[in-house]
Structure 1
Amino acid sequence: MDISFSIDRLTILGVDSGRFEKTINNNQFGFILRDSLAPFPYRRQYHMVDGSLLQYTDSVNHDAIRYEFNPNNIRPSKENEHRRAVVDILRTMKYPRVSRIDIAFDFKGVDLTEFYF
């Protein structure tokens, strides 16, 4: 039996350092596919070309920036570009913290159809 695991989703929250709106308006991340209204408490959300989601609010009761992505979606040919975008997003945050991490376990060569989770 071969078991492997990976981080399937990572969500990072942070306070706006004062650079977010300028950076996002200039599309300095280079990965923005489209933007739209976001569900409460966020005001705007930015869908990135790699499937990640970046959300922003100006509410003082919530972390201003929420970034959710799947590290498995980093393509080897685009790895440096994606890492640069992640670093640029993190630089717009003060006090970034991980609020969610999903771990995927892959069982190769095992029939799990009889198990209930």
Structure 2
Amino acid sequence: MKKFYQARNSEKTVVVHVTGEKIPLYGSGSTLIPPSPPAPVPKPKKKGGLVKLPDPPAPPAPVPMTLSFVVRSRAYVLGKLVQPKFYKKIKCDFNFEHKTLSKHLLITKNCTVTTV
């Protein structure tokens, strides 16, 4: 996030996009791999014989993830003479599902903010 100035009597909302790439999942990544293609259907040996189709593979289970970070801010009260610092710890819980891996996730509803 770039630096910005905010007047004392105003409120400003900053939108930040968090991108993760090549994040290790420590043992849970195997459930996110798409299932292998189904086995070929065997041909019946006799005419009119029933062929049992293989069961479809179970969908992979969602992988729970926790995103935690700290937002630091600083204010100049009397110029640069007094500089109070403010820290907010943000923790977001969400689930990665196989269907939504390539889509954006809105995590605003699953976050808790704590003042440190």
1 or 2 for the larger relative contact order (CA 8 Å, sep ≥6)? 1
> Quick check: which one's helix share is greater?
1
Does the alignment reach a TM-score above 0.5? no
Give the TM-score, by structure 1 length. Answer: 0.22
